Amino acid sequence: MTKKETVYVVSDSVGETAELLVKAVATQFFGQEVDIKHFSFVKSSQDINNVITAAKYNHSIIAYTIVLEELKLELDQRAHAENVIAVDLMQPLLDAFTKKFDRQPHRQPGQMRKLDEDYFKRVEAIEFAVKYDDGQEVWGLKNADIVLVGVSRTSKTPLSMYLANKQYKVANIPLIPEVPPPAELFNVPRKKCIGLMISPDKLYEIRKERLKSLGLTNSANYASLERIFDEMTSAENIMKRIGCPVIDVSNKAIEETADIILSIIQKRESLL
C-alpha cells in the first residue's frame, strides 16, 4: 500500500479554504488524496513552533491561510530557518486586491465562516417562510421573528420571502371572516405582529386580474366589492384586537413595505 503524503493545513480560523485548495492541487499529483493534518485557530508562537516541528519531522510542507500579520511573518521566518516549505495561499490574491482596488485587507480571521453562517441563516429563514406560509403549521408562530396578517392579496407571501432573504423568520396568517384566526396568533407578542391593509378599489382590481388569470369570471364573490368590504372590516377588528401596527400596502412596492416593517421591528428592539 502506497504511503500517503502529508500536508499540514494551518489557519488562524478553521482552515476549510486551505483544505479545499490542498485537495484540489493534490489531485494533480497523486492517485489518492493526501493525508491532511489540521492546525486550526493558530494564535501563538507555541502554535507556530508545534506545526513547524511536526512538518520538519515528517518531511512535509505547510499550506496556510493566516491573515494575522505577526503570526504570518513568524511562520514564514521559522519555516525558512528550519528549511520547511510553507506556502501562503492567500497573500498573492490579497496583494492583487490591494493593488487593484487600492484598499488594505482587514486582516480579521474567520470572515469566510461568518459568510457561511449568514448563508445558512438565510436558508433557514427561507425554509421557515415556506413552512409557515398562508397560515400553515400555526404552532410554529412562537418561533417567528415577524408575523404578517392581512386579507388575501396583500402581498403577505412575497413580503415573507423578501424578509427571509434578510434572515428574518416570517410567518403569515390570512384573515378570512368565516374562519376564526388561530388561537396561537393571540399568544404572539404584539411587537412581532404587522397588519397589512389595502384600499378596497386596489384590492378589487388585483383580485379581478387574479380571477382572469385563472380563467374565472368577475362575478365570483372573491372579487366583489361587498365581499372585500366585509373582509376589510373583519381584518381591521382582528388587528385592533392584536394591537399591531398596520401598513397600507395599496401603492407600495414589496421593497418599500419591507423597509417600513424592518423600521418598525428595529425601532421596537432598540427600546427593549
Provide the domain count of the chain.
2
- As annotated, the binding site for ADP includes 150-157
User: Which pLDDT score, from 0 to 100, does residue 113 have?
Assistant: 58
The β-bridge partners of 193 are: 147
User: Which pLDDT score, from 0 to 100, does residue 233 have?
Assistant: 95
CB atoms within 10 A of CB 233: 11
173 shares a domain with 244: yes
What angle (nearest 5°) sits at the alpha carbon of residue 26, between those of residues 81 and 73?
25
Question: Domain end: 58, 74, 109, which one?
Answer: 109
pLDDT mean by block of 10 residues, the chain; 272 residues: 80 82 83 80 90 92 89 93 93 86 73 65 90 88 95 94 94 94 93 95 89 72 87 96 96 94 87 64
User: Which pLDDT score, from 0 to 100, does residue 86 have?
Assistant: 94
CB-side neighbour CA atoms (13 Å) of 194: 29
- As annotated, the binding site includes 150-157
User: Which pLDDT score, from 0 to 100, does residue 119 have?
Assistant: 75
Q: Tell me the three cell numbers of residue 267.
A: 425601532
Tell me, what CATH number does 145's domain have?
3.40.50
Q: Tell me the three cell numbers of residue 18.
A: 486551505
98 shares a domain with 65: yes
Structural contact between residues 33 and 74, judged by C-beta atoms closer than 8 angstroms: no
Helix (H, G, I), strand (E, B) or coil at 152: coil
Q: Tell me the three cell numbers of residue 57.
A: 519531522
User: Which pLDDT score, from 0 to 100, does residue 32 have?
Assistant: 60
132 shares a domain with 43: no
Structural contact between residues 72 and 48, judged by C-beta atoms closer than 8 angstroms: no
- Which residues, other chains included, contact 54 with Cβ-Cβ below 8 Å and sequence gap of 6+? 8, 37, 39, 60
Query: Could you list the residue range(s) of the whole structural domain that residue 32 is in?
Result: 6-109
pTM equals: 0.62
Residue 83, domain member (yes or no):
yes
201 shares a domain with 100: no
Q: Tell me the three cell numbers of residue 11.
A: 489557519
Helix (H, G, I), strand (E, B) or coil at 226: helix
133 shares a domain with 89: no
